[in-house]
Structure 1
Amino acid sequence: MASSDAGSAEQLDATMPGAFPDADGSSAAVSTHLTLSQALYSRRAEYTRPRHVRIKVGSWNIAAQKGTEQDIGGWFVAGKGIAESLAGLGVSDAEPPAAGTRESVTAQEARHSSHAPTIPHHDYGAVPGNAEIGLYVLGLQEVVDITSATEALRPYTDPSVANRWKATVAAALPEGYQLMAEQQLIGLLLLVYASPTVHPHVKAVSTTSVGTGLMGYMGNKGAVTARIVLGETTRLVFVNSHLAAGADKAALERRNWDAGQIASRTRFHPISDLMGTSHNQAEGLGEEDFAFWFGDLNYRLQGMPGDDVRRLLTIHTADMDKELPKASEQSPSSGTLEPAQLPPDMDPASVETTVASLLSHDELHQQQKAGKAFHDGWTEGPIRFLPSYKYDVGNVGVFDTSEKRRCPSWCDRILYRTRASKLRHDAKVKDQEETRRKDEEMKAKGLEHAGDDDQVLFDYDPEADGDKDAYDEYDEDAADPEPETVVTKEGFSDEILLEYYTTHMRVLSSDHKPLDAVFSLKYDAVVPELKAAIHQEVARELDRQENEGRPSITVVVDRSTGTASPENTDKTDSSFDGVDFGDVQYAKSKRRHITIANTGRVPATFEFVDRPVAADQPEGPFPPWLTVTFDKEPDKTTKPAQDNAHARYSLEPADVCSIELKLKIDLMDSVRNLNEETTSLDEILVLRVQDGRDHFLPIRGRWLQSSLARSIDKLVKIPEGGIRKLQHQKPGFIEGVKWSVPRELFRLTEAIEDLTERTLADWEMTGHEGQKAPWQHNAGWPFVKDVKYFADGAHELLLADLIDALDCDKPFDPVFDAAATPQFRLEILSEVLLQFLRSMQDGIVTKSLWEKLDEGLATREKSKQQLAPDDEKMWTLEILTTAPYHNASFLLLTSMLQNIANHIVEASKPDPSTPRSSLDLPGSPQVAVRRKTLSKVPEKALRQLINRNYATVFAEAMFRTANVDNNRMKEKEKTVRKERMIKVVELFLDQGG
């Protein structure tokens, strides 16, 4: 959902969509490794393949009428609702269809006969629709009442309007179509859908909005725009706009101003071009290959009395509504595609003549000719249909009978522009400016009075020069559009053809008639697999072409698997021309070695430089999960660099340097991205030799799915056998709920409870030679441990193996050494449980659940109202039960903690026959630490101390709050919030719970 642009121009970031551009229009670009990129670009023909797609662009001002969405499937998707004799470009052609050509109405109906059309084909026009369209682009205006302040604010707080339209369009489209882009600005709504064969090729989607209404930037007028890239080669832009209304001169000038503002202020997020160059300057209109501007442009018929136009058009529409119910008897949204018979003596040629005579007064054509709007390369298909505005709702062809009796006009339009036409316009403007400059120079030299035979004067008059016959009269016999070849920004030769341009007269639910246009686009698309193969070939070829006299090194990858190390026992692909880490698990280090040898005749200095990455990836020589260690010191002239980044090393001829590459995934952001396959372990390191050539070292690993960093809603769907059972499924393919709580959570809590009992029994039986039991000096045991417990990576491999057993649904016992004590196993598994809880995307208590709990607790604190513990618990459960799986998981954890606390309290009862010992409470910011003698700590107080420690530890692990809130809150507020979380957990640990 997009909001209108508000505030002054100075408040808008010039690099963000919808912002005002910088005054100097400057831009900056960052280029990386142009040698490789240019070589790859030169072979682009080898990794691209031609594709064909049909694009249907539809526009409709629904005038905030209720129920209009019910018509969308009929006219926009199925292509119905056309009065054939008034159909427009392409619909009535009788030629058989071929690739990129038009098709007759009869043939269209024959192909759609399986959909049981409700109106006979001889009276019911159609344009291509359903699965034969690759991209559906729908622009709606006035989806809310823009004249009502209440309605105009609805999109900011209530997404139901947009959701209703999206649901209706999705239901009407064939199976498999996906919503690729959406943008709303008050009454404007833009939706872009792609077919199953097209959407994998859609990249770099960016949407924005520009408000041009009140005060010049409010959203009651303006545009919503989307930019997509097809096949990594072809930029497409779709602009859905609603310009200023009104029939006077001021309104006309305001429309032109609106269009200019939209063109200048529209900004899209930067993208990387085919050569790998990343641009940090936002893209604007005019940088695309194909643009489509549509909507209620509101241009009227200039100098035409409304009554005269109505009378003239009524000659052709008088009998169109005879077969329809009266408007008062028909619901505006009740399936408006009703049959009607045209007058038998109606002459279509006379309709075209009437349309042509009126279009010569069309303001849009006049403004284009005058160079005031849409003159910079924009074009429109031949208009062979009646005006789209203004009709009585519920009628096919009855024009405005209200008191205002507005003049019919072609307010709704679909324009398009190619990169070629934009460049032609820019060249023309440049030539005219050069002519003007030469003219002024001649006049400055006093040559303006020279005789015609003596001098040639470059006389430029912007009011008189130009295309003198353009737009003077609308040509009713204008030829149909021909395929246009366009050289794209990436250097490819594309072809576009406007096949259809028509309005749907039989849609009755608005005072505007919807219209659409179908474009046939042939373009070249990158095949990623071929591009990757060519990329490697180019890299190797560049290696071979380097001059032997320049510094030269050789990079040798150690193919041994390192069987001496338990972490390197897996098999790798020896045919891979790079470093293959094999299977990668969470927190398990994988090491590989490479050797760099100076095989040249002169000293060689090398370094790893920043690798080419996508805009959303971390920059630097190495990905964050890779550590690189050299067996020699860097050059002394090298500035200190963190993790050897950009450190330089020099080798004399025949010298070698050994480098260890260590891969380790232990950051939860990386785990989540790898689980969701939004990132991968495929990278290319760039080794740069000073005054030499670059070496490119591919590295890869195969991520083994983990149950960490997932949500409870996904965890409860993991089948028996663990997440690895789904290793080869499609991304996100998890269906059906299998458990009431995550199986991983159940296994951990069950094992921890069992080991607690075994540990307590072991201490009771052996006494451990008079040593203090761990719970006697640590009230948070087994979940709180000394900071040295995991120092220097202690137990790191064991923890990783236990998480692997959790992911594979395997027993925990075989992971431990046979001699491991129950206490050790318990303490390690307790740490695994806490890591598992901290990794959850939404936590046990989600952000939304906590906000409700926090609000209630804060309210009672403010009013000093206290509930009885049982009432407090019931109130908490009422909130938690709105998320059943989270509630069950919360109760499972608190039940485990309660049982463990019961066992420890029972085991802590003093033995009268033994000396009394002391109890140490663990230190934490939330717990006051005091040393007390165990004999002086009553059983109830001891239980409260344990509960407090457990609640402190698990509140941090189980609850989720918004990071932005944490950043804005003061320390006192954070402390209060933390205390509330602890209170919630303590409530369920109380002995009476």
Structure 2
Amino acid sequence: MAPGASSVRSTERLDANIPGAFPPTPSIGSITTQQTSLSQALYERRSEYTRPRTVRIKVGTWNTGAQKGTEADVAGWFVQGKGVEEALAGLGISDPGEHGKGGRESAAVQEARHTRHEPSIPHHDAGAVPGADDVDIYVLGLQEIVDITSAAEALRPYTDPSVANKWKTTLEAALPKGYQLVAEQQLIGLWLVIYASPHVVSQIKNVSTTSVGTGLMGYMGNKGAVTTRIVLGETTRLVFINCHLAAGADKASLDRRNWDASQINSRTRFDPIVDALGSSQNTGEGLGEEEFAFWFGDLNYRLQGMGGDDVRRLLTIHTKDMDHESDGRPSTSADSGYHSKHSSEDTRDAVPVPAELDPASLQTTISSLLPHDELHQQMKHGKAFYDGWAEGPVRFLPSYKYDVGKVGVFDSSEKRRCPSWCDRILYRTRAAKQRYEAKTRDQEAARKRDDEMKAKGMDVPGDYDVMYEYDPDTDGETYDDYDENDDPEPELVTTKDNLSAEILLEYYTTHMRVLSSDHKPLDAVFSLQYDAVVPELKTAIHAEVAREIDRQENEGRPSIAVVVERAAASSSSGEAEKTDSAFEGVDFGDVKFATSKRRSITVANTGRVPATFGFADRPVDKDQPAGPFPPWLSVTFDKEQDKLDKPRPDDIHQYFTLAPAEVLNIELKLKIESVTTVRDLNEGDTLLDEVLVLRVENGRDHFLPARAHWLPSVLARSIDKLIKIPEGGIRKLQHQIPARGEVKWSVPREIFRLTEALEDLTERTLAEWEMTRSDGERAPWQDNAGWPFVRSRVVAKAGTQSDGHEDELAAVYDALDCDTPFPSAFSPETRSKERVEMLAEVFLTFLSSLTDGVITKSLWEKLEESISTREKYKQPLSSDDEKMAVLEILATAPNHNASFLLILSSLQNITNQIIEISKPRPDTPRTSVEFPASPQAKVRRRTLSKVPGVAIRQLIVKNYAVVFADALFRSKEEARTKEKEKAARKERMIRVVELFLGDGN
């Protein structure tokens, strides 16, 4: 049970109240209060004790039809994401070939083995929807876990927990270790349960569950809803509503469904929210006061005015041959509008027809049916779910009604019910509800103005009448028709506490391959980012505020003021910078790899006595480095630190003392240089968001939030992801790389661009040197056989290879990320030699950052095994045979193989260019030839060829091989690996590179 979940009503303790009753109103005397001044002061400093957090929420719903054995399927479809027929699944589900469908059990075999005693999920299903520990909060709503058609069940004054316990046992066995039960509520056949991951459960407080019965007599629990409210991070209210509305396809049933929904909306009440300090913030909330709400279940809305036989015939076109390829019948999945036509070699050069324009596609069929969907009609006409509720694009087959034990066979009983989207998942944000309310107010105000003018006998002008006339029966008819092609966009929300939150629907689909009920399960996955309270910071600030309120500020107490430089409207490069003018802290705006951002802080002594202060260690998670500043932030002061004459607390590392009215200027510099940090930022595992603590001796702490917005980089990604990035760069994808998206390139476009630019710039540098060199001047490659990929000895003393060109180097990385020309990154005054050296540095950094490497760990294991075998049995091969042996192994990973060969081909071209320009004359004696220095590889002169040109090539190839062996290869390094073994492994890698650099022929 999560902390703070004391209000959860356990089904183990049977409630004496009849299910569906109105929840009791809390007593006014039981509601605690606190001084307004303290609450207000704490509220005004909320930005100092909140931090952004991101969770993934999975909401699932299923009408089990009281079928025995359905609990055996819940682990497979809900926790593991199995049972999806990808070709017919819709939002978020990609081509089935990428899920290993070839090994999955066919629908025919699955149906043939179906029994009530084992899961109906197809065998060898890899899962297509996020599950396991990829989900932070699991929310499952079931309907008809008992037979609600039984009068004895519907009229029972209590709920039997034994049925729900079977489901709980199955769920908890499937959930990852450490997931905890947060809330559970049952109303006859309705059951709602919520589980949270270990790192999220501690952030969940104020759990409150309730139920509303709308069934028999408008009161009993055979229809209605079970609802749970939770508060995330003390800031964000989430409400989950699992309902079962009235059944039936006639007009009276439709009206009853709308009535059921209105009753649930008006009668749902939650317990008061109590904050961490023990004070109540309200007297209990109803629906509509939360930041995010999720309404799901068997809503029972049908297709209005549609003949069941006609709909079945239309949909069966897409289901009759589903997954029966082995029977020799053609599959219709390729015509569904969801099948990836790019995967077929026959259509590689053809222009694919968009699904919405293909009259034979499933998407077109669904689009033709959805205008008849009662739910969309009622929302459009303001009869139900009209006040801000939304649904993701419906791109999947109706969830009802199927023959039990069949994948895609619609109701074949005598009733032959019309297929319908009965099971739905809706969601609403606080912002959406506020937009609806604002629109309603505007319409009401317009109607009142119109009525007032008519009451005064004034004629309403035609234009005015058009502007303000309001008819509740037709209002809403001008809304756009439902467009199933609109993908959901992230929606920003401002919470009650004036903090920010954002939600994005990632997946919304049915699990067609679950056979144990006449309904198909439905789930949706949401990504939610919200501002969460950091308890330690809030406690510290609360104590500080309380002290300041309880007693008047002591005049002798040290006091400082901290003034933060506001972010500029634009960066030095002229690009717009993302800033938040309301943010009370240090906002660096948009940041990129290798680009420095600076902000200034002024600290002034505003008291009457000297003030001694310093930055204290900030509160961090266990997996973050400790200290006053995060690794990506450096600090400089314009004043010498104090010389300590006595021991001070260990959590402050530098002290500064200011006399009254004296000021200290501080510069904060943010620069992302660590590839590990880039990887974490790209994946969303790390945020550029910290709280700096400025501690004053005998005074109060000042909490200084520092944040920045990371712009994604191509660094620290895998080749498999990079080849899916379309032309235009990583940032066009808005932080998202499709995990199973279409392959765009055989080799990452970044490798193509870098190798081409390096060859061109090397050729230009050599030509410039040839034309402008003076007598006795040495070329850069004569000082360094690893040029341009190794720093020369002269430059190394100064600093980095790009010393004095930090901005240009950052611009090169930016051009790589944005897919823009490299020349635009350089200053016109920068020489070609310096340009090629910077580009070479970027190239090596990019290759070294690849998470899987050009030669992956698994590929290297195979290569090393082959090389070791030949060494052991002393079976040397010719160079050509060695190459073929290597290529045979690399051929198992085509994209990595192509990347390796392209890089080595480019290095060979650069080597040939340098050799060509540095060839000694034929009559030059070997003893007078100046061989380049070899900084990366110790080469004995007597091992070099006696032909000067060949010897120079050997030196360059050796140096390039040493440098690129580290950048190209990945291997499993174990703690016990001896240095000798590591050296031998490195030599093998170098040998592989040398093989392909060869003699340049």
User: TM-score, normalising length from structure 2?
Assistant: 0.49
Larger radius of gyration: 1
